[in-house]
Amino acid sequence: MKHIWLYISKTDLLTERCQCAEEGKDLAPLEEEFARVEALDLEDLSNQPAAQALLDRTASLPVRPDFPYQEPSDLEGIRAARPATRPALPPLRLTDTELRDRVYGAWLGRVSGCLLGKPVEGWRRPRMWGYLKETGRFPLQSYFSLDAPAELREKYQVSAESCFIENVRCMPEDDDTNYTTTGLALVKRHGRGFTPADVANFWLREIPILHTCTAERVAYRNLSLLIPPPASAAFRNPYREWIGAQIRADFFGYVAPGNPELAAELAWRDACISHVKNGIYGEMWAAAMIAAAFVTDDLPTIIEAGLGQVPERCRFAEDVHSVLQWHRDGLSYDEASDRIHGRWDEDRAHDWCHTTSNAMVVTLGLLWGEKQFGRTLTGAVQACFDTDCNGATAGSVVGIIHGAREVPREWTAPFNDTLQTGVTGYHHVRLKDMAEETVRLIEQVAS
């Protein structure tokens, strides 16, 4: 029997082990129970209660007294734990025309970055770099192409049906752009005051469960079982610090230009239905960065503005600060990329899909991209990990900095200003129209 989303698998247990260790929990009291449950056939439904009980016990484990981090999940606790000093940003001084251009640039940048990384999502470095090198395209400079000898396509398992650039006429549906569209639809429906319950109800009404993954799918299951947020994020959810919330951040930055604190608050309301701790911080950081990009083009300041909205002493902030320090120390892009791979093992699903590993890659792409549009996107994708997610987040920031008029046409022409989504009412839309709708919502949120 294939693994069914409702049930707990051995992969879930392995992920829970990793997650608990990183959260500072002492698993010693449960080692024997882990060994016993991991030895069971979990596809035999009679063994599921044992696995479920084990996850419940890990949830009740206390954090070690010597754990050096402060990582609340509630908004009040997060705000109280922020750095005392945060970057001073200038006020928003864009004309209406300039604001429209920046918002349109954000959408174009997000789609371009997502499209760049989409055909190689899940590829590890040996596969991606091998394909690029053997086709004479390393380092990455443009969209991935099918233009390669048949034997190379076979060697690297390149499908002619996948969204390599030769097959693109519009931006195909992707969870990264689905969630950006969801943010727009949510704010349009409920306004600035939307609640976590509004987010949950929107998902249940408008997003099919099989369009969700990992933490979102577990949260969806929990919501279907009438477990409300924020409990829906934590109940039997081994993926609670994975990247899923971080990829949902962008619209909350678009709709709060120049206001990182508001962007982060909106992002928290979204993230807390499916994530905890660093999983939440990733969405708050990304939204705040994007909001800051409307008022400054200084990349370290933008990144620090994002970090200013999350706890100062958390694992997320520590790892992103390390990338900032490598940049100050003059490391090359390759040296910094290698250090990220030394910190996180891309062959382990938990590391590959974690919020923090991918935030480090986004930071890498932004800093070493030096505000150049294509170089930023390719830098966020070539490092691997969750390629389409990281390209999309970095793309939003650099798209805002450039504005639509300065985004190179070579990056936008392939998708013809057109986006397909799985969100009701937005199945086939023009990005320019999405940008115009976003500007109208900015005006409503600000009023």
As a whole number of angstroms, the distance between CA 33 and CA 29 comes to 8
Instruction: Annotate 266-308 with three-state secondary structure.
Output: HHHHHHCCCCCHHHHHHHHHHHHHHHHCCCCCCHHHHHHHHHC
Report how far residue 271's alpha carbon sits from residue 390's, in angstroms, rounded to the nearest whole number: 17
C-alpha span between 280 and 244 (Å, rounded): 9
**Are the C-beta atoms of residues 139 and 163 closer than 8 Å to each other?**
no
Question: pLDDT tens digits, residue range 102-161?
Answer: 999 999 999 999 999 999 999 999 999 999 999 999 999 999 999 999 999 999 999 888
- DSSP code of 169? S
Residue type, 358: N
Helix, strand, coil content of the chain in percent (nearest 5) = 60, 0, 35
Question: What superfamily in CATH does domain 80-119+171-446 come from?
Answer: ADP-ribosylation/Crystallin J1 (1.10.4080.10)
Instruction: Write the single-letter amino acid at 121.
Output: E
Question: Helix (H, G, I), strand (E, B), or coil: what is residue 25?
Answer: strand
Measured between alpha carbons, how far apart are the two ends of the chain, in Å?
Answer: 54
Listed as ranges, residues in the chain with pLDDT below 70 are 1-6
Give the model's pLDDT for residue 3.
40
What pLDDT is stored for residue 6 in this prediction?
60
* Gap between the Cα atoms of 89 and 34, Å rounded: 49
pLDDT in tens, 75-117: 999 999 999 999 999 999 999 999 999 999 999 999 999 999 9
The answer to whether 327 and 336 are in contact (CB under 8 A) is yes
Give residue 7's pLDDT.
Answer: 83
What is the residue whose two structure tokens read 């320090």? 325
Bridge partners, 171 (sequence order): 419
Would you kindly state where each structural domain of the chain is located, as residue ranges?
A: 10-60, 80-119+171-446
**How many other β-carbons are positioned within 10 Å of the β-carbon of residue 325?**
10
Q: How many C-beta atoms surround the C-beta of residue 406 within 10 A?
A: 11
Characterize 180-211 residue by residue with b for buried, 16 or more Cβ atoms within 10 angstroms of its Cβ, and e for exposed.
bbbbbbbbbeeeeebebebbbebbeebbeeeb
The dihedral built from the CA positions of residue 15, 21, 24 and 30, taken in this order, carries a sign that is: positive
Q: Which of 160, 101, 11, 207 lies closest to 438, judged by CA?
A: 101
- The pTM for the full model equals 0.97
Check if the beta carbon of residue 8 is closer than 8 Å to that of residue 40. Answer: no
Give pLDDT, residue 388: 98
Match 């608990």 to its residue by tokens: 20
For 430, phi and psi rounded to 5 degrees?
-90, 135
Residue 140 CA to residue 86 CA, distance in Å, equals 35
